[in-house]
Amino acid sequence: MQPDADISLYKKELRKRMLAKRRALSVINTKIKNGKFFSKYIKELDIYKKSSKILAYLAMEGEPDLDEFIRYALIDGKSVYVPVCVDKQNMFAARINSFEDLEIGMYDIRTLSYPYEIAKPDEIDLVLIPSVACDLRGNRLGMGKGYYDRYLTEIPYKKRIAVIWSFQVIHNVPIDKFDRKVSKIITEKGEIL
């Protein structure tokens, strides 16, 4: 096992390389792929069909955009929640009813305007997670702030699904004791894990 300092450095370098690749995607290319694939593949999952409360992220630049999926899930009668960062360490799930309720929040990420309805982690049936990279063992690399890893401690493994581009699935993601695995990976090519 590598010392924590070595893992941290490797994660930092890997994150830098993967984010550069993600930023290199054209806006047109990502919009076409988003609309065509991600919503379709997520809707087909048994866990989606059985879920009533779903936590889905609001995409940052280069991430697979789930806006179309969120709209579909709302029409489908699901309660959809998005992450809201409450401080520099913690996030919670706030219910979205309309994209009209969004504003720019911490880290220049779209977030819900206050007031909002919050769901406890044990009420969430499915969590769609953005990632910088994942491997086929379900290890994931996030942005490095630990928001999702802290939140996922209260979410059962089978409810955690990463949504990423296929090039972000790599051979090995370095992990430490704080990292939380995902049970599935969805890419623009379908379900990988």
Helix (H, G, I), strand (E, B) or coil at 154: coil
Beta pairing, strands 140-141 & 190-191 = unpaired
| Residues tagged in the binding site annotation for substrate | 58, 63
Question: Alpha helix locations (H) across 24-66?
Answer: 27-33, 39-43, 46-50
4, 176 Cβ separation under 8 angstroms: yes
| Residues tagged in the binding site annotation | 11-15, 58, 63, 140-148
| Residues tagged in the binding site annotation for ATP | 11-15, 140-148
Residue at token pair 């499915």: 126
Helix (H, G, I), strand (E, B) or coil at 167: helix
